[in-house]
Structure 1
Amino acid sequence: MTQETLITQAQFRRMPWKNGKGETLELLKLEDDKGVKFRISQAAVSESGVFSDFSGLERHLVLIAGKGMRLVHQSEQGHVTHDDLLHELDIATFYGGDMTTSELLDGAIEDLNIMVRRDDTKALVQAVYASSDVLNQAGQQAYYYANQVSNISVDQGAKELIMPKDSFLIMDEKSDYQLHKGAGVFIKISADERLVR
């Protein structure tokens, strides 16, 4: 029998922002003796502004609701880049230590934030939509955030899961998963073997 874990939004941990202008709903966090290895969270953003400094962490930001925002990043060396998140499930990847500012394009938005320690951890973050393709294969630790009500088949139909909107699935490493209805964010976090010494 599979051992996946389904977490609903009511179970997410509420965390105040460093800048005091809102709160984050923490879905999952792993720490070790070096500090935060990875964190997955959700937040509502109601005004444009400067992001908190998360030096040492790589960030993947996914637009999950709202009409978009522009992110402008300035590195320590002064190099400036930007990301436009215009549609639901658009993704931006950037360094948490950069000076990042957000500009809301048409009202408040909600985002999903995946942060991993740059020194030794990497994340694969993808928007996924209903299809018959395998969402995750056995042998991998992975997660799924349901941006819509989602129907997922486990082990070729041995079990069916119906996930509410804004819920989060920790997949069983021993099982295969297929997304048959809905859309969301697939996340796989692993050690970066190129960086681990």
Structure 2
Amino acid sequence: MTAVQFVRLADVAPTPWRNGGGSTRELLAWPNAERWALRLSVAEIERDGPFSSFHGIDRWFAVIDGAGVELRFGSADRIRSVRRGDEVLQFDGGIAPACRLLDGPTQDLNLMLARGRGGLQRLQPSEPLLLRAPLKAVYVADAAVLHRAGAAPQPLVAGSLAWSDAAAGELWTIEAAPGARAWSVAYEPEVEKKK
């Protein structure tokens, strides 16, 4: 049975943005914080302003709390509104969209990948999460229970992450109340070519 690591959002100190528009709490930087290939974080957007540009990075964005945001990707014909309950939005991290709050501060979940393959998706309670990727994670905004084949059920407090980078093929299921907010991450590292 593989080991699963747990991170509580409340235990992670926020890092204020340089532009003063919000803050970020980093939940996971893999394989390490200095040279990450995967980074998962929760951000508090407190006022309108542009996103930071991350060239060469793939991004996924989901609203956890608040009314949501309107993102403008360079021109008026590329506007996307993202609200609580919407599907995850994927975009090129090198594009720094202008962000407008729809109705007050918003909390969001962000996945960034520098290398490898993966993604972030909304997870329905009791929906089996069978991913062949070596790294898998579940973030729950509402209290839930993590079930893994062959392991005791693990309660997850609201605002927590469960993850493992050695769980390829394991069956994970989240048990939660109807309407509970949860997201899954699957990630397969890039295989380095031999020289």
- TM-score class, shorter-chain normalisation, is 0.7 to 0.9
Partner of 2:181: 183
Any idea what SS the aligned residue of 1:10 has? helix
Gaps in structure 1 of 5+ consecutive residues: none
Match of 2:145 among 118, 137, 151: 151
Q: Higher strand proportion, which one?
A: 1
2:59–2:91 Cα contact (<8 Å) kept: yes
Deviates more, 1:16-25 or 1:41-50: 16-25
1:58 aligns with 2:58: yes
Deviates more, 1:173-182 or 1:50-59: 173-182
Gaps in structure 2 of 5+ consecutive residues: none
Q: How many residues align?
A: 187
Alpha-carbon separation, structure 1, partners of 2:117 and 2:12: 23
Partner of 1:42: 42
Residue 112 of structure 1: CA displacement? 0.6
TM-score normalised over the length of structure 1: 0.82
Residue 30 of structure 1: CA displacement? 2.5
Residue 67 of structure 1: CA displacement? 1.0
Cα RMSD (Å) of the superposition? 2.5
Partner of 1:110: 107
Equivalent residue letter for 1:141: L
Partner of 2:19: 19
Alpha-carbon separation, structure 1, partners of 2:134 and 2:31: 20
Structural mapping, 1:27-106, within 5 Å: 27-30=27-30, 35-74=35-74, 81-88=78-85, 90-106=87-103
1:138–1:176 Cα contact (<8 Å) kept: no
Q: How much identity, in percent, do the aligned residues show?
A: 22
Which string of whole-angstrom CA distances, capped at 9 and with x for unpartnered residues, describes residues 48-102 of structure 1? Answer: 111112112111111000112111112xxx7962321123353211111113111
Deviates more, 1:82-91 or 1:36-45: 82-91
Distance 1:20 1:31, change over 3 A: farther
Equivalent residue letter for 1:155: A
Partner of 2:5: 5
Match of 2:116 among 95, 117, 121: 121
1:152–1:160 Cα contact (<8 Å) kept: yes
Distance 1:164 1:89, change over 3 A: farther
Alpha-carbon separation, structure 2, partners of 1:150 and 1:73: 35
Equivalent residue letter for 2:183: V
1:66–1:88 Cα contact (<8 Å) kept: no
Deviates more, 1:121-130 or 1:136-145: 136-145
Equivalent residue letter for 1:98: I
Residue 163 of structure 1: CA displacement? 0.5
Alpha-carbon separation, structure 2, partners of 1:82 and 1:91: 15
Distance 1:178 1:19, change over 3 A: same
